[in-house]
Amino acid sequence: MSGSPLVAIAYEKIRHNLLNADYAPGILLSESELAAQLNMSRTPVRDAIRMLEKEGYVQTLSKRGIRVNAIEVQELFDIFDLLNALYLYALDVVENYHDEIDLAKMQICLDRLIEASDRKRYREYYENGLLFMRTLLEATHNRHILQTFDAYRDKVLFFVVAHRSYKRPNRPYTGRAVYSEMYKCLSAGDVRGARTTLRNSKWHVRDELLRGSVEC
């Protein structure tokens, strides 16, 4: 992060808009438009764009503008495979070493997820779903696992919120049933049931994305 306060502000605001799907995948932005929106000069905006470009959210096209990137479906599948492997490992740790999950924290995430689905707030829904799963990973007490999860969390959020906003706006919030079932199993100490629910949900997510003909 640059030492300039204006660069930090520009970075956070543009990144927030990207994660909130305010900019559709493939759309072209311009430094001057962003600078006007943020009420600042183009220089801090340019530096913020460079940082977001390194993170893979945008790409600067010569003499054309700044394109909002998309994530290929296969890349998202690969990320989901990695995260699911981490989730399953966490369940193994809980089962074999009797490490405790912070169920109270998990319940808060679930409650917020359900409220977000009722209010049709895409970003809050997916954010709390990811926080729900991060709570499971915290039971491993492994900072490298948490760092790996955090490195991919926003990229997943960026994709699924945009996909939901522009590709499948009327799709029901089917994931809440998966989180609810996982919480029910974990609260009852049924790690095997939680593992089965998780494995089944992996293929459900793949099917949903493929049926949506994701191209963004």
Q: What torsion do the CA atoms of 148, 151, 155, 161 make, to the nearest 10 degrees? A: 80
pLDDT at 214 exceeding the cut of 50: no
Lowest-confidence pick of 120-134, 136-150, 163-177: 163-177
- Please answer whether residues 109 and 197 qualify as being in contact, where contact means their C-beta atoms are separated by less than 8 angstroms: no
CA pair distance 197, 164, nearest whole angstrom: 23
Residue entry with tokens 């499971």 = 136
**Overall average pLDDT of the 161-188 stretch:** 82
- For domain 5-68, give the CATH number: 1.10.10.10
Secondary structure of residue 65 in the 3-state scheme:
strand
**Angle at alpha carbon of residue 62, lines to 57 and 68, rounded to 5°:** 20
pLDDT digits (tens, 9 = 90+) for 198-208: 998 876 666 65
Q: Is 23 exposed, middle or buried (0-12, 13-18, 19+ CB in 10 A)?
A: buried
Domain boundaries, the chain: 5-68, 73-211
In terms of CATH architecture, what is 73-211? Up-down Bundle (1.20)
What pLDDT score was predicted for residue 198? 93
pLDDT digits (tens, 9 = 90+) for 95-135: 999 889 999 999 999 999 999 999 988 889 999 999 999 99
pLDDT digits (tens, 9 = 90+) for 7-59: 999 999 999 999 888 998 899 999 999 999 999 999 999 999 999 999 989 99
CA pair distance 181, 113, nearest whole angstrom: 13
What pLDDT score was predicted for residue 212? 52
pLDDT digits (tens, 9 = 90+) for 64-101: 899 999 877 788 888 989 999 999 999 999 999 988 99
Name every residue whose Cβ is closer than 8 Å to that of residue 9 and which is 6 or more positions away in sequence.
38, 40, 44
Name every residue whose Cβ is closer than 8 Å to that of residue 102 and which is 6 or more positions away in sequence.
135, 138, 139
